[in-house]
Amino acid sequence: MTSLRLRDSQPTKTRTDVLVVAAAEAEQGAQLLGIGARVATAFGREFARTLGALGFSGKQGEVAKLPSSGAVRAKLVVVVGVGDEAGGPEALRRAAGAGVRAALAGKTAEAVSVAVALPCRDERDVQAVCEGALLGAYTFDRYRSAAATNQAADIAVLTDAAGSKTSKAALETAQVVARAVARARDWVNTPPRDLTPKAFADAVAAVDLPARTTLTVWDEKRLAAERCGGILGVGQGSSNPPRLVRLHYKPRRAVTHLALVGKGITYDSGGLSLKTMAGAMTMKCDMAGAAAAITATYAIAELGLPIEVSCLAAMAENLPSGTATRPGDVLTMRNGRTVEVLNTDAEGRLVLADALVLADEAEADVVIDVATLTGACVVALGDRTAGVLSNDDPLRDALQAAARRAGEEVWPLPIPDEMKSKVTSSSIADLRQHNPDTSGGALYAAAFLREFSGGRRWAHLDIAGPAFHEGDPYGYVNKGGTGVGVRTLVRLAQDLADG
Ligand code: BES
Ligand code: MN
Ligand code: ZN
C-alpha cells in the first residue's frame, strides 16, 4: 500500500508533484480552507478569477487542477470542493479521496508524490484525511498488463500538529483501517475463478497473524463431520468445495466478546434458481460480508483493542449442476433445525445459519453478521446505504452510531412480528427458507437469520447495495469492491472498548 506520513510543512513551500487543497462554496466564490488558504495568497489576485473561469465554485466533489507556474513549490495544485465549510470528518475523508484520485489521474512514466493540505481541527480529522487519501489512492491493476492510472510514490498529509502524539495515533489507526479496507476491496475485486472458497481461505491464511490471534479452516470433510448442512448444501453444486474460516482474537483483558459472522459466497449464480444475466454480472461481490468481517477482525487485533473477537466466515460457491441443492430439498443445519429450501438463490441465509450457530456456541456477548443478502434491501435503501436489522434496539442504534462516526451509511429496518410466522410456515420442515411473496424480502431474511441467533444480542448488516460500486468513482470510492462495513465494525469495537 501507498506510504503515508504526516508533515509539519507549509503547503506553499512543500516540494511535491501535486498539492491538494480544499475549498468551500461561498458567496464571493470558492474559499480555500485551513492551511490551504496560504496557497491563494501565493497565487495572488488572479487565483479567484482563475477558479471562476474554470467553473469551479467549491461544491462538494468538484475538482479543479491548476499548474502552479512557480507560485508554490508543487508542480500542480488540485482544489477539491467540500461544499459546506462546516462539514465533518467524512467531508474531509471524501475530499482527500477525490483530491488524491485527481492527482493520480492520467498516465505518466513516473510515480507521483502528493501532499494533502486540508483543514484538520483535531485527530479525528487527521484520521479521516489519512483514510481518505489512502483509499483514494487504491487501485486494482492485477489483471491489467499496465496500470490504468499513475501510482502514488508517497503521500504527505500536511498539518501543524504532525508531531503530536494524538496525530501519530490517528495516522496509525488510519493506516490499519485503510489496509483492512483495501484488502477487503482486493478480495471482492478478484475474479471468482481465482477466489474459490479454498483460495479465499488460503488468502486469509496468507495474512500475517497479529498477536493473540489464531486461524482455523474447516474443509468440506470437516464441515460434514461438524454437521454444517447449510454451508454444504449451498456448496454442493460446485466442484470448488466450501470452507469455514474461523479467526479468533483473544486479548489479555477483554471487556466483551464480539462475534463477526460473514457471508462468503465467492460466486452467486443463483444455483438452480438461476439469476438473470444482468443479475449475475457482479456476483463475485457476494463474499464482501466475509471480507469485511475478516479484515475488520485483523484490524481490531492489530490495534490491540481489548475486545475478544470470534470471526466466522462461511465460504461457498453457489452454482447449478447435477449435484446442486434443488428447490424442495430439506437441509439440516448445525443446530439440528431443518430448513425447506424453496429458492436456491436465497443461499446466503443458509450458510449464515451454520455460522450463527457457531457464534452462539462460542458464547459471544454480541453477534453481528455482515452479508450481501438481499436485492430487496437495495430497493429499500439504494446502493450506498446498508440496512441494519436486529433483535436488540440498543445494539442496532450503537451500530448506526458507529457507522456514522466511521463515515459509512447505515439505516435501520424493522423485523415485523408477522415475519416470525412466515419463516416457521413450512409444510414439511422447521423453517421455510424463502417466501414466494417477496414483499419485505430483507425483513424476511433477517427474521430467518434471527432463528439462529440463539437469543444472543444480534444484529445483521445487509450490505447488498454498497458492497460493490458500479458507477463512476466518487470521493474515496473507486469502481468495484468498496470494503464497506470494515470501518463500522472497527469503530463499533472501539466504542465497545471505550465502554
Ligand atoms: N447475493 C444476492 C443478493 C444481492 C443482490 C447482492 C444484489 C448484491 C446485489 C442474494 O443471494 C440473492 O440472490 N438474494 C435474492 C433473495 C430472493 C431469492 C429471496 C434476491 O435478493 O433476489
Ligand atoms: Mn443469491
Ligand atoms: Zn447471494
- Domain containing 357 equals 184-498
347 within ligand 1 shell (Cβ under 6 A): yes
Q: Establish if 445 belongs to a structural domain.
A: yes
Look over the chain and give the mean of its residue pLDDT values, rounded to a whole number. 97
**124 & 269 share domain:** no
462 within ligand 1 shell (Cβ under 6 A): no
Pocket test of ligand 1: the residue of 272, 285, 318, 374 to mutate, having most ligand atoms within 8 Å of its CB, is 374
Ligand 1 atom closest to 444 (CA): 19
**152 & 301 share domain:** no
Q: What is the pLDDT of residue 107?
A: 86
Contacts of 258 (CB under 8 A, 6+ apart): 307, 308, 309, 310, 364, 365, 366, 367, 368, 492, 493, 496
Contacts of 422 (CB under 8 A, 6+ apart): 432, 435, 444, 447
> Which residues of the chain carry a pLDDT beneath 70?
none
Interaxial angle between packed helices 486-498 and 165-189, expressed in degrees from 0 to 180 and rounded to the nearest 10: 140
298: cell is: 485483523
**97 & 204 share domain:** no
**330 & 254 share domain:** yes
Q: What is the CATH number of the domain that holds 360?
A: 3.40.630.10
Ligand approaching nearest to the C-alpha of 465? 1
Q: What is the pLDDT of residue 87?
A: 86
Q: What is the pLDDT of residue 86?
A: 82
Q: What is the pLDDT of residue 29?
A: 87
Q: Tally the domains of the chain.
A: 2
Ligand 1 centroid distance, CA of 150 (Å):
36
Residue range 219-272, pLDDT digits in tens:
999 999 999 999 999 999 999 999 999 999 999 999 999 999 999 999 999 999
> Which of 112, 133, 163 represents a domain boundary (last residue)?
163
Which candidate, 72, 101, 128, 91, places its Cα nearest to that of 2? Answer: 101
Q: What is the pLDDT of residue 28?
A: 85
Q: What is the pLDDT of residue 242?
A: 99
Residue range 401-416, pLDDT digits in tens:
999 999 999 999 999 9
**251 & 119 share domain:** no
Ligand 3 centroid distance, CA of 346 (Å):
6
pTM of the model: 0.98
> Which of 128, 163, 198 represents a domain boundary (last residue)?
163
**218 & 304 share domain:** yes
